[in-house]
Structure 1
Amino acid sequence: MPANKNGNTLSTPHSRQPRFTPALLALSCALSFPALAQAAPAAPAAVDFDRLVAADREPGNWMSHGRTYGEQRYSPLKRINEKNVAKLGLAWTYKLDVDRGVEATPIVVDGVMYTTGAKSIVYALDARSGKQLWKFDPEVPGPRLSEGCCDVVNRGVAVWQGKVYVGAYDGRLIALDAASGRKLWETDTVIDHDRSYTITGAPRIVKGKVLIGNGGAEYGVRGYISAYDADSGKLAWRFYTVPGNPAEPAENKAMEMARATWSGDEYWKQGGGGTVWDSMAYDPELDLLYIGTGNASWWNRKLRSQGKGDNLFVSSIVALRPDSGDYVWHYQVTPGDMWDFTATQHIILADLDIAGEKRKVLMQAPKNGFFYVLDRTTGKLLSAEKFAPVNWATHIDLASGRPVFDEKAANYLDEPKLVMPAFIGAHNWQPMSFNPATGLVYIPMQETANLLSATGTPERIAHKSVVNLGIDVPDLPEDPKVVKDIAASFKGRLLAWDPVKQKAAWSQEYRTIYNGGTLSTGGNLVFQGTADGRVTAYAADSGKLLWESPANTGVMAGPVTYEVDGEQYVTFMAGWGGTFPLILGPLSQRAKVRPEARVLTYKLNGKAKLPAPQNQPQALPRLQQLTLTDEAALAHSRGIFNGFCGSCHGLNAVSGGVIPDLRYLDDEKHAQFQSIVLGGLRATKGMPPFAGTLSLDQVEGIRQYLIKRSHDLQKELEASAAAGSPAKASKTASASGAR
């Protein structure tokens, strides 16, 4: 096979043969016998390949994750436009069952909305009224809920020929009857149940195959994407993204190529990473499936691969044949990744005029802060520029397609370094959108940084719900004033980016990072929800704010728009959660929201009312006596808490409001503390037992640290009251996670 300039193997694209498809046959019948066509009601979710390929002919529907296979998240609908968007009002709202992170993109087909909430629960709603048609709960076992890095979220479903497909958090792929929600089949996608594999991403369906990846790189898994027969659930093919045991034969030539880029024998024991946990796109003309892969495991490159090699295919865009899973080409955005710079962020396909030539391109703005434009036929890099503050690389060399690393600024293997962007990225999973009319891409951009240093020796932790990365991230200070300053340095923006000129057209700054995905429309509009609890609309060409409305909670998911009976609607999935408010709880409090999971749907002159937010102040319970007063011992217990508990309950025991704030433990919870932490008393609710991992003395040390932090909080509240702060003390606070 020929190769491109980066040495990436190529294959000749299959040309699509013209054929008289069932869709064309149906259209012919409708034209010849219109009365007959009107008499035949559409079956639920009657979506097939031809209908998805021709999605632009049905702008009123949103039939796949990005609306079209190219994932542009652009809708031609324009009944709602820049001139009348100020008249948007709430049409209906639907309360989801679990108040955790909501990240789903709804699918809307022929007047029915299919969407998901936390814990992979699936909902079918009347798209006109929000009335529930059915609900399916996959009943993910409680102990499995703790085995993911970033909340029990789900990004949505796929539909195909009367079925709805969802990836459950515990790794099952499930097919449901679109009319009733009845389970038709399920299959286990997990290859090793001793590892913490999860599914949070939305499936895609191409030519009768359901495509799904997995998460878990932080916990030490081997990444892959699988294809299953949409009718039976039978495995059709699987493509691994990193090599396995070097003592065994490689699965294919792609894995032989990848194996040569890894060193030592530690990587495969740790799993390697490279998980396909979110983005995919498909080009029907080229018959190419594009996937984005995640970070390596461990992050520390010296530990995982002796500090050598590109470590394919981590942090890469890979093109595959959807019929077979055969490798075609790849482009690695961060060779040898050691900063958690995943390439799982949203992939968009478009045709752009570049240097006077129409090019079929693929665009991505991954975590690492560079905006990439590739030729999607060959994988050749066309351009790449920084869209956010970056110091790990000076630039991307166009001749080689490789980044030029800044060793002095970002190589933390020998000494700590302040790296930009942080592990949360310059752009995370929240989808961006592309508007063909303006030629702009709308990115939920963020400015972030973190201090990294390397651990000296490999360390494996047997507990599946504890992350080991081979790095040290310094603890956040406990001083609330310092934390406030750090939080203010994390800046969120809506960035309108010109992919041809590779520069910003306009931007809007937000209170904090982790704002929602975007939608652009033919009405010259960009819609986005925000971390601080709003839904908004901007002029797509100028960035002028035209409309906003309260959401009562943080909004992270990408909105959609659709049309039913001549009425255009815009839907936001609202609900706070995910990486930012869990791990970085002290920083995320700047958003000043709590989790409240809802579907919010708007139309012109809508008159529905949004219920008042549930943010009543929570009283501090009677404080326990602190018996551990040795500062060194408390600091040691703080390190244990942050290492084992902070990824959910927040660093320094400051919750972001999604998981209970442990500073608010009452007498009963203190009495049950050992039973909860060691005995699994709350395992069914997702709190894993740590018996065999933590000792009795360590658990008591954690409890004492939490008592200390409760006393710290009381002092903060009293100081706020004395200063006349609106946050009146009387030992209360808006501790939304304390429940």
Structure 2
Amino acid sequence: MDCNVDFSGPVLPALSYSEKHMRNVLASGLLVAALLVPAMKGIAGTVRTAAVDGARIVAADREPGNWMSHGRTYGEQRFSPLEQINDKNVSRLGLAWSQTLEFERGVEATPLVVDGVLYVTGAWSIVYAFDAETGKPLWKYDPKVDRPMAGNACCGPVNRGVALWQGRVYVGTLDGRLVAIDARNGRKVWETMTIDPQRAYSITGAPRVVKGKVLIGNGGADMGVRGYVSAYDAKTGKLAWRFHTVPGDPAKPFEHPALEMAAKTWHGDQWWTWGGGGTVWDAMSYDPELDLLYIGVGNGGTWPRQLRSPGGGDNLFLSSIVALRPESGEYVWHYQLAPGEQWDYPATTQMVLADMDFQGQMRKVLIQVPKHGFVFVLDRTNGKLLSAEKFTQVNWASHYDLTTGRPVENPVADYARAEKPALQFPGPLGGHNWNPMSFNPKLGLLYFGELQMPNFYVMDPNAKYRERNRRWSTGMDMTPWITDPSLGPTVEKNVRGSLIAWDVAAGKKAWQVEQLMPVNGGTLATAGNLVFHGTSDGRLVAYAADKGEKLWEYRTVSAIMGGPISYSVHGRQYIATGIGWGGGHATGFPDGATAMGLKNVNRVVVFKLDGKASLPPSPPLDLTIDPPPVTATMEQIARGGVLYMNHCGVCHGSGTGGVPNLDAMTPRTRHEFMGIVLGGARQDKGMPAFYEQLTPEDALAIQDFLVAKANMAKAKALQQKGQ
């Protein structure tokens, strides 16, 4: 693929529709003529612009061929009304086209499609536009993210997609910028910095646009930041409002009235130094009838509430769903899923809005399936908890009291007071992670991936905020994972994954399909009685939405993490998804490509009935493990292991996905190890320098640990081969 295609020639002007005009069009029954004719009319060879506004998104079901916003509709149901591809003919589905994206660091984006153009992001916040019918590259925009900024991101240089509005494409960049791009040619219109670059903020989430305001949050709760969501004028990039999710320094005025209420739930004299967390790094939904914007607020920073707020308290608005007015950022209501959150349980997973008969009454509900292990159903008019039912193994809380809306915590949950580590379900990867889910309103079923992986939580009582400018600021003690060899196997034997179809009204599973890997990608539901699910072992699978019968699968080789979509061009329906392993999932698990000895390749793939294309072969993965002999003492290796877990493991993990497998370091890399770790010799690859965090002795200890680890991996491989 030539990723440097630069369109030239005549272009269409950006199109827009006022909401007042759209209401008149709807009333007169001329919607299709008003929307489709101007958008599709043009000159041969031109790129049609993303003529999207709020009225068009509200009326998305009248244009089922487009996927105009992150969740297709403002309610984020990810349900396609298209049914040309259905449970009777899905076996004929074949590849229509594919394009390779740059950089093997993971694809988490949901593609958008408007009027025949597909927009998707890859690693390093790069935006691509393709002809949605043929896959022809139209343009590429590279925001030139400074590669060492990957050190400020918890989970790699991934990106979850763009927003479209009145002829522009909006993307949040890893280094904290919001950029407006001309949809006709991929050229930058404006950009603005949304963060304090002196703090370890990052952006991996997709923007949303509501009422001419571009909404963007950020990440960094684990890195010592204070969370907020911002709204910018879509035309100019000017800041319209900002809602901080946790209170700041109490000696300073509150930025908005809701913080006065929140501040009463925090205690101690350090939380604003630590940052507090509460980042809005992914989920947002909007109800145009109620005119309410819903944001999902992240976990605490530090993790242990005893360090963060030693006097106790709920620590609002951590782990909360908050309803705001989109034009002003005014607080309306909140519901906190985990008061005093201390398990890395954010409320940042997708929020589905639905109008349905719930327990004998028509309700406007908000549904969320976050890490906590429960399916939450709220009345979205006021935030009242209607239901909270377990979908996976949970022991941090026995249940939720529907009268108070609060969880009933089990003693195992307060790990800071425990004498020894206890196995807790779910762990920090959650019962369900960020990977998108879908809702079929015809069946009342919600489809999402279950991730069962418990954890041993241990607080570090001596933790200091970013000691030696340490990047991670969780307040957790990683030492037991090195000193107690039983912890890892205990967790491993409790790991599993599945696809769940959840009956929302009944509050129980309708069906469940076990998966080969514990963590998998997102889902798409369609009117053709289908649900599509991407897996980390490298498959796109179609199931019967009502019964869960597997009807079709395609081997994508590399893993699928994001959400598939469906669209149509010239009367033909397509299914599209990004593939490519990376991000936070890749730190702990291999993907399908790795398991087959193949290199992870980032791509966008598109399917249609009777498609005849084929994927280019994936190159072989060089995993030669030939380390030098171990010369360090057990004490040196153990010390290096703790340092590795604290500074390196969250990115490198077991070495799968887009990050280098450190077991398979070449002799040259081992020779250059000190220059890479301390001197930044690989900063152009996204490996920051750690000279502020590590001493030369520390780096040598880490190298000793990696040599020992590689020797163990080599011995295991030889044993498996029977040598």
TM bracket (short chain): over 0.9
**CA shift for structure 1 position 172:** 0.2
Aligned to 1:648: 651
Q: What corresponds to 2:160 in structure 1? A: 155
Is 1:218 aligned to residue 222 of structure 2?
Answer: yes
Residue 598 (structure 1) shift: 0.6
CA distance in 1, matches of 2:180, 2:39: 29
How far apart, in 1, do the equivalents of 2:464 and 2:593 lie?
Answer: 30
Secondary structure at the aligned position of 2:502 is classed as strand
CA 1:37–1:403: 2 relative to 1, 3 Å: closer
Structure 1 residues 497 and 421: CA distance shift in structure 2, 3 A: same
Alpha-carbon distance in 2 for matches of 1:35, 1:648: 45
Question: In the alignment, is the contact (CA less than 8 A) between 1:576 and 1:594 conserved in 2?
Answer: no
In the other structure, the counterpart of 2:612 is 607
Contact preservation (8 Å) 1:444, 1:517:
yes
**Secondary structure of 1:155 counterpart:** coil
> 2:15 — aligned with what?
none
Structure 1 residues 677-719: Cα deviation after superposition (integer angstroms, max 9, x where no partner) = 1111112221111113211122122222222223223322222
1:336-735 counterparts in 2 under 5 A?
336-408=340-412, 410-415=414-419, 416-462=421-467, 466-473=471-478, 476=481, 486-583=491-588, 594-621=599-626, 623-628=627-632, 630-650=633-653, 654-722=654-722
1:278 aligned onto 2:282: yes
User: C-alpha distance in 1, partners of 2:644/2:708?
Assistant: 13
Which letter maps to 1:722?
A: G
Partners in 1 of 2:465 and 2:512 — Cα distance? 43
Query: What's 2:8 paired with?
Result: none
Stretches of structure 2 lacking an aligned partner (at least 5 in a row): 1-17
After alignment, is 522-531 or 685-694 more displaced?
A: 685-694
Which residue does 2:6 correspond to in 1?
none
For 1:646 and 1:114, the matched residues in 2 are separated by: 33
How many residues are aligned here?
Answer: 701
Whether contact under 8 Å (1:490, 1:513) holds in the other structure is yes
- 2:90 matches 1:89: no
Distance 1:486 1:398, change over 3 A: closer
> 1:116 and 2:117 equivalent?
no
SS state of the match for residue 722, structure 1? Answer: coil
Aligned AA for 2:474?
L
Q: TM-score, normalised by structure 2?
A: 0.92
Larger mean CA deviation between 484-493 and 324-333 belongs to 484-493
Q: Counterpart of 1:490 in structure 2: which amino acid?
A: V
In structure 2, what is the Cα distance between the partners aligned to 1:396 and 1:174?
42
Q: CA deviation at 1:586?
A: 11
Change (3 A) 1:691 1:36: closer
Which residue matches 2:188? 183
1:91-140 Cα distance to aligned partner (Å, 9 max, x none): 00010011111110011000000110011000000000111000011110
TM-score, normalised with respect to structure 1: 0.90
Using a 3 Å threshold, how does the CA distance of structure 1 residues 414 and 717 change in structure 2: closer, same or farther? Answer: closer
Structure 1 match to 2:178: 173
- CA gap of 1:700–1:586, structure 2 versus 1, over 3 A, is farther
Deviation at 1:194, TM superposition (A): 2.0
Contact in 2 for aligned 1:576/1:595 (Cα 8 Å): yes
Distance in 2 between the 1:94 and 1:82 partners?
27
Query: Per-residue deviation at 1:649?
Result: 1.5
Q: What's the CA shift for 1:635? A: 1.0
TM-aligned CA distance change 1:663 to 1:679, over 3 Å? same
Task: Please say if residues 585 and 649 of structure 1, whose CA atoms lie closer than 8 Å, have aligned partners that are also in contact.
Answer: no
Which amino acid letter does the alignment assign opposite residue 409 of structure 2?
A: F
**Equivalent in the alignment of 1:244:** 248
In structure 1, what is the Cα distance between the partners aligned to 2:684 and 2:559?
26
CA drift at 1:670: 2.0
Provide Cα deviations, 1:188-234, integer angstroms capped at 9, x if missing partner.
Answer: 000x2221100000000001000000000000100000000000000
- Aligned mates of 2:26, 2:547 — CA distance in 1: 44
Gaps of 5+ in 1: 1-16, 724-739
Give the whole-Å Cα distance in 1 for the aligned partners of 2:29 and 2:154: 51
Mapped partners of 1:308, 1:482: distance in 2? 29
- Structure 2 Cα separation of the partners of residues 33 and 257 of structure 1: 47
Alignment of 1:325 onto 2:326:
no
The question of whether the paired residues in 2 share the 8 Å contact of 1:511 and 1:590 is answered with no
Percent identity of equivalent pairs: 51
Which residue does the alignment assign to 1:79? 84
SS at match of 1:242: coil
Secondary structure in 2 aligned to 1:472?
A: coil
Pair 1:49-2:54 in alignment: yes
Contact 1:201–1:214 (CA<8 Å) still a contact in 2?
yes
Distance across 2 between alignment mates of 1:482 and 1:417:
10
Q: Cα distance, 1:627 vs. partner?
A: 3.0
Root mean square deviation, CA, Å: 2.6
Deviations 1:49-84 (A, max 9, x none): 111111111000000000000000001100000000
In 2, Cα distance between equivalents of 1:354 and 1:570: 31
Deviation at 1:357, TM superposition (A): 1.6
**Worse-matched range after superposition: 18-27 or 243-252:** 18-27
State the distance in 1 between where 2:412 and 2:483 align: 29
Secondary structure of the structure 1 residue equivalent to 2:721: helix
Deviations 1:487-518 (A, max 9, x none): 45211111000111100000111112220111
Deviation per residue, 1:597-616 (Å, 9 max, x gap): 11110000000011223334
CA contact (8 A) 1:463 1:690 kept: no
User: Which amino acid in structure 2 is aligned with residue 393 of structure 1?
Assistant: A
Listed one character per residue, the Cα deviations across residues 443-493 of structure 1 (whole Å, up to 9, x for unaligned) are: 111112001122123322256673131122465579999967744521111
Structure 1 counterpart of 2:138, one-letter code: L
In structure 2, how many angstroms separate the alpha carbons of the residues matched to 1:451 and 1:139?
39
For residues 146-165 of structure 1, the C-alpha deviation after alignment (integer angstroms, 9 at most, x for no partner) is 21111111000000000000
Runs (4+) of structure 1 moved beyond 6 Å?
A: 25-39, 477-482, 585-593
- 2:651 is aligned with what amino acid? C
